[in-house]
Amino acid sequence: MSIFGSLTTGISGLQAQAAALGHISDNIANARTTGYKRVDTAFTNLVLQSNARVHNPGGVVARPSYANSVAGNIETVDRTTNLAIRGQGFFNVSRLTEVNGTSVPTGERYYTRDGSFELNDERILVNRSGFALNGYIYSEATNSFSTSATPIQVTADIDSPVPTKSIELRANLPTDPTPGQPIQPTTIQIFDSTGKPRDITLGWRPGQVDGAWRLSVDTPGAVGSLPLSGNLDGFPVSAQSTSLTQGITPRKQIEEVQFTSPNGDGAFKIGDTYRVSINGVEFTETVTTTNSSQLSNLTGVAQSLADKINGAVPPVGVTANVSNGRLRISATTAGDDFTLTTNVNNATPTVNTANAPVTTAATSTQQQQSVITFAGSSVDIGDEFTLNVDNNSTQTYTVKVTAANIGQLKDLNGVVTALAAQVNANSSTEKVIASVTGNTLTLRGTTVGDSFNVGEQSGTTTTAASSSAAQVTELSYPNRDIKSDENDMSVTINGTTITYSPVSGNDMATELGSFAADINAQALGVTASVSGTRLVLTADSVNTAFSVSGRDRLMQANVSNAPPADNTTFVSSVQGNITGSRQTQRISITGVPGDVGATYSVTLRSPSTNQVDPIALKGTTTTQPSTSAAQVTEVSYPSTAPKVGDVYSVTINGTAYNYGPLTQADLDGLPTQPPTTSEALTNLFLPQITSADVTPTVSGNKLVLTGNAVNTAFRLTGTDELATDPSSQFFDFSTTTATPAVGNRYAVTMNGTTYAVQITEQNIGDFPTPASVLDSLITKVGNDFGAPFTASAIKNDGVTTGILLTAKDASIQLNGTQEVAPNFNRTITYTTTGNEVSLDEIAANLALKVNQESGIPVQATSVGGVITMTSNQDGIPFLGEPSSNIGTTPPHITLNFGGTLPNGDAAKAGTLSSLSSANVGTGNATVSAVTEGGQPAQVSFTVDYGNGPQRITLDLGTFGEATGLTEYEGNAINVTSLLQDGSPQGTFRDVEIRENGDVVANYDNGRRRVIAQVPLVLFNNANALGRETGGTFTETADSGRARFTSTGVNGAGVIAASSIEGSNVDIAQEFTKLIVAQRSYTANTRVITTTDEMLTETINLKR
């Protein structure tokens, strides 16, 4: 190798590295260029001669190596028209040139990986380099793509409206719809041929059997023939009364509490406690010395309790008053019952005594003094304290403790003080004065030497024995009746003691007479007699004296303690409680919800009531008149003897028969003295009863009136005030002869309580005659155990024609009246609209109309197709007469789920098994002709919105498969998909390119139109393509011819929409190559400089 050869080799090296540097710089500069493909450098050595003996290098040659087939990184962007290719292939693009103001492609074909396409101002898809994207253009006319690729341009600004042809429904109908809730209609918006939106509403209603449904199709705005039209005959309907329960007028409970004392005098004791408990609330009244005078007696106790009950806070639900000494308790509100208990806690009886007097006899220098001490714990009402003082005359001083004075007396000291006051008030005549210390009474004579007797005494000798006179000695006794705890009468005459036990309750004079008889029976030479309340002893002979050495203590100070308290209480029920109730009637309706124009009516009116004014009757009828017996009526009288002024009177069949007032002469003329009531009735009153209708007799204390003919009634309408029979009232229904009919009502009203029988459809068989109704009324009264009266039948020829109500007690007053009830008659009707979903809704609507009707005392509710009508107040009667008329059934398409398919196979549960257009009326709707399993289930119909007929098919899936409309568990419809294929007119909005290469134009009407398809271009040797400005490539002989194919086909990659492919330059690698190139270049310069130095040395050899 020559020096010059080395020089040329070094220079070639410099040139090769310079070329490599150019490639590297180009790569680095385009590292961020979309779709840029890097250029690598390939070095090739040049050899001039090279063999075993010699080598003459020629240097190096650098040439570019293109990486066109190496993909760059793909990045997702937000532009829908940006594209990238995952894999092999290129976009076909064209250069645009302007011709007459319009961009047209030049003839050359270019290829690129730069997918930064966007619409330009002419809506041509161009990339950033201005190259237009070529594709196969879609023709809607031929429904095909062009065969050659041309620039893709959006040419349609307006999208023409597309009329709806098909509706696809995917939904589930519930197996258990919510009762009373309509199934939500399904509404979808479709488009007519002008693009105007229209609504089609699909209505759903369960059929009459499980799995059956009715489908309605409503097309508002359509004219002419409709999918469903006309009306079908309605289903049968009915409305009938199923029950009627009569109401009851409430009645107040009335109870009477009577407090009684053993003697019937209404007395009470201090410490007595009287209790009344009402509904668990206790009211008490305890008798004290403070309140006894105000209370006075048991009637006062009752009044005090009444005041406490009426003033209770909170109220206990009753009012109280006192009537005839009884505490009457009445419920405040009729129908509200109450509980009542009573009791009496009697006070402990007092035990008071009076000791024998301690007497200091009178002397010539001092007065007599007698000291009497009373002992005991307290005083009580009924205690009686007696003091007898005998000086000039026998004086009895008595203090009786009463309710009126116990508050003033208070205790024994008060009683002793009262006795002393009585003695002192009489001291001017009796010459005795009294003083009190504690419970001790001290009596003193007012004259020295004058004596007086207190209690035990020898009597007073009024006549001394002499030759001309017999001795007379008198013993004084108190002027009162003998008491139960009285001591025996006793006296000792001349040493002989005579004792007599007096009878309690008899007066003192009577018992003294018996005592005198016992004395005289002793033959003591003394004769005993009685003068007032003095026992007079007279000697049988003159000049014969006798001695009285001792006697009983009846004249001593005496205490008669009140007997032990034994007051009691009892409760009598005057009137039982009746809890009121409101009359109810139930009406049941039937029919099929969804019918139009069906009517359900109810006429509400007051029933025709049969009632009469009662006739007040007297006496007690013991035998009713019949074909075999005459009427017998008795009038009872008290067993007490008749007295002056009594009047006897009866009124028979309107004629009064009287006797009286009785005179003393009438009474004296009767056989027995004192006379009896029976004698007065027989001898005085009986002759006055001259009625031809009855025969009067007397039985004991009863006047007996016997009809003079069998089967003939008489009326005893009046008696005198002496009669003790409970009062009666007679309701005469003898003129009510019509056969009972539905709506009739029979009633009797007594003391505010009405007993009624209303004839209904349910019970009319029980009442063939008026008598059967009256018998039922009598039974109702008999079953009312709280009623203050009883009921009995008045018969004529053995048939009940009237009702007799008799008070249970003579004290009960009867007040029979006629019931006053509202009078009304209204017919209320509800007409179905077809929108009702259940009988319950129909019943509720009719009930609402009843409630909105004014002037009727009835309210209505409904449950499950049954209307319950209830009176507004307790006891108000009414009658509801229901009626109904059928309507029409709207046309519909029948759907059946489950069951059997036409070929006999069982349909899957919940899937469509059949469709029927048998009930579309005059409509044009049709259903799938073939209903085999797997076949389309479709409903087709025609609508005309003024632009001509438009046929629409409703796709419900397939028969026997769960692909569309189903019926599974649920209570509401569940629509999962509802699609239609129509659209209105639209304006271009934007364009997008899908991954399959379809170019889609989007319009504001929601439509998407495919306008082109982007192909991919393959080459046999993509790296041999020629490069052009703008990241484009051209076909070369080495690359092979372009092969157009679809994305993902024939080895082509796939299009990545909304993506951009970056350059395939690796910056780090390029910098590495840059360093290597720099080093290589420097090394080549060293070869040249070394060669130059060697040449210089060679030239210097010459010098």
Residue-wise pLDDT for 865-896, tens only, equals: 999 999 998 889 999 999 999 999 999 999 99
Q: How confident is the model at residue 455 (pLDDT cuts 50, 70, 90)?
A: low
Amino acid 13: pLDDT: 86
User: What's the pLDDT at 943?
Assistant: 97
CA distance 248 to 916: 56
The CA distance from 1030 to 1047, in Å, is: 23
Torsion of CA 589, 593, 598, 600, to 10 degrees: 30
1 has pLDDT over 60: no
SS3 assignment, position 4: helix
321: left (phi over 0), alpha (psi -120 to 50) or beta: beta
Does residue 42 register a pLDDT over 70? yes
pLDDT tens-digit readout, 666-724: 998 999 888 999 999 999 999 999 999 999 999 999 999 999 999 888 999 889 989 98
Q: Which of 259, 271, 570 is nearest to 403 (CA)?
A: 271
Pairing of strands 655-659, 728-732: unpaired
SS3 call for 163: coil
d(CA 883, CA 570): 57
Token pair listed for 104: 């047209």
In this structure, what token pair is assigned to residue 374?
Answer: 């009373």
pLDDT at 151: 95
The tens digit of pLDDT for each residue in 814-849 reads 999 998 888 999 999 999 998 888 889 999 999 999
Q: Residues 371-378: what's their mean pLDDT?
A: 88
Q: Give the separation between CA 161 and CA 148, rounded to whole angstroms.
A: 30
**Overall average pLDDT of the 526-533 stretch:** 90
Return the SS3 of 494: coil
Q: What confidence score (pLDDT) does residue 687 get? A: 94
Between 388 and 960, the more confident residue is 960
459, 526 contact by CB (below 8 A): no
Are 556 and 357 a contacting pair, CB within 8 Å?
yes
The Cα 909–Cα 958 span in angstroms is 14
Q: Does the pLDDT value for residue 363 go beyond 90?
A: no
Instruction: Please answer whether residues 934 and 958 qualify as being in contact, where contact means their C-beta atoms are separated by less than 8 angstroms.
Output: yes
pLDDT score for 393: 65
Structure tokens at 769: 């005659």
900-956 per-position pLDDT tens digit: 888 888 899 999 999 999 999 999 999 998 888 889 999 999 999 999 999 999 999
Nearest to 430 by CA among 465, 463, 387, 484: 387
Radius of gyration for the alpha carbons in the chain, expressed in angstroms and rounded = 67
Q: How confident is the model at residue 16 (pLDDT cuts 50, 70, 90)?
A: confident
Tell me, what's the pLDDT at 975?
96
Name which residue leads in pLDDT, 561 or 15: 15
Report the run of H or E that residue 549 belongs to, with start and end: strand 548-551
Determine contact, residues 861/868, Cβ cutoff 8 Å: yes
Q: For residue 357, what pLDDT band results from cuts at 50, 70 and 90?
A: confident
Q: What is the dihedral of CA 897, 899, 903, 905, to 10 degrees?
A: 120
Rounded average pLDDT over 38-58? 82
CATH domain 455-558 topology: Immunoglobulin-like (2.60.40)
| 784: three-class secondary structure by DSSP | coil
Mean pLDDT value across residues 305-331:
93
Specify whether the CB–CB gap between 567 and 260 falls below 8 A: yes
- State how far the Cα of 1007 lies from the Cα of 996, in Å rounded to an integer: 19
Q: What's phi and psi for 510, nearest 5 deg? A: -65, -45
What does the DSSP 8-state code read for residue 875? Answer: T
Q: At what angle do helices 3-29 and 1067-1102 cross, to 10 degrees?
A: 160
Collapsed DSSP state (helix, strand, coil) of residue 116: coil
Which of the listed CATH numbers 3.30.565, 3.30.70, 3.40.1130, 1.10.1060 matches domain 254-345?
A: 3.30.70
Report the alpha-carbon distance of residue 894 to residue 903 in Å, rounded: 19
Which segments within 326-365 are labelled E, that is strand?
326-331, 340-345, 353-354, 358-360
Going by pLDDT thresholds of 50, 70 and 90, the confidence category of residue 1103 is low
Q: Which of 499, 505, 502, 536 lies closest to 518 in space, CA to CA?
A: 499
**1051 Ramachandran zone, left/alpha/beta (phi>0; psi -120 to 50):** left
Same topology, domains 166-230+891-984 and 254-345? Answer is no
Q: Classify residue 1033 by burial, with Cβ atoms within 10 Å: 0-12, 13-18, 19+.
A: buried
> Counting Cβ atoms within 10 Å, is residue 411 exposed (0-12), middle (13-18) or buried (19+)?
middle
Max mean pLDDT range (13-27, 787-801, 935-949):
935-949
Residue 345 above 60 pLDDT? yes
Q: Residue 919 phi/psi, 5° resolution? A: -115, 30
Nearest to 593 by CA among 28, 82, 1054, 204: 204
487 phi, psi to nearest 5 deg: -75, 160
Task: Give the span between the Cα atoms of 797 and 810, in whole angstroms.
Answer: 30
Burial class (CB in 10 A: 0-12, 13-18, 19+), 158: exposed
Average pLDDT rounded to a whole number, residues 955-961? 95
Mean pLDDT along residues 76-80: 91
Q: What is the mean pLDDT of residues 746-758?
A: 91
- Alpha-carbon gap, residue 592 to 28, rounded angstroms: 85
Beta strands in 403-449 (DSSP E): 432-437, 440-445
pLDDT at 550: 61
Question: What is the reported pTM?
Answer: 0.61
Q: Which pLDDT belongs to residue 319?
A: 95
Rounded average pLDDT over 1075-1080? 89
Report the residue count for the chain: 1103
Percent of the chain residues topping a pLDDT of 90: 55
pLDDT of residue 394: 65
Q: b/e for 617-642, b at 16 or more Cβ within 10 A?
A: bbbbbeebbeeeebbbbbbbbeeebb
Instruction: Give the contacts of 763 (CB within 8 A, at least 6 positions apart).
Output: none
Q: Which residues lie below 8 Å from residue 557, measured CB to CB, with a gap of 6+? A: 354, 355, 357, 372, 374, 385, 386, 387, 388, 441, 454, 455
d(CA 528, CA 519): 6
User: Which of 856, 837, 984, 966 lies closest to 911, judged by CA?
Assistant: 966
Q: CB count, 10 Å around CB of 294? A: 12
**Count of helices and strands (H, E) across the chain:** 12, 80
DSSP string, 677-730: HHHHIIIIIGGG---SSEEEEEETTEEEEEEEEET----EEEE-TT--PPPEEE
Q: Return the ∠ at Cα 323 (arms to 320 and 328), rounded to 5°.
A: 35
- pLDDT, tens digit, 9 for 90 and up, residues 1012-1027: 999 999 999 999 999 9
Sequence-distant (6+) residues with CB within 8 A of 61 are 12, 16, 43, 44, 45, 46
The class level of CATH for 166-230+891-984 reads mainly beta
Q: What is the largest CA-CA distance in the chain?
A: 237
Residue 942 to residue 56: CA distance in whole angstroms? 96
Within a 10 A sphere around the Cβ of 839, how many other Cβ atoms?
A: 21
| Contact criterion met (CB below 8 Å) for 948 and 193 | yes
Higher pLDDT, 795 or 927: 927
Mean pLDDT of the chain: 90
975-995 pLDDT per residue, tens = 999 999 999 999 999 999 999
How many Cβ atoms sit within 10 Å of the Cβ of residue 823?
8
What is d(CA 554, CA 139) in angstroms, rounded to the nearest whole number? 151
User: Mean pLDDT: which of 259-263, 460-464, 550-554, 932-936 is highest?
Assistant: 932-936
Contact 247, 875 (CB under 8 A): yes
Q: Is a pLDDT exceeding 70 seen at residue 641?
A: yes
Provide DSSP, 1057-1088. Answer: ETEEE-----HHHHHHHHHHHHHHHHHHHHHH
CATH number of 581-606+823-888: 2.60.40.4390
- Pick from 1086, 600, 1036: which is nearest to 842 by CA? 600
Domain ranges for the chain, please list them: 3-67+1065-1102, 74-160+987-1061, 166-230+891-984, 254-345, 455-558, 581-606+823-888, 612-618+725-820, 627-723
Nearest by Cα to 349 from 559, 568, 567, 565: 565
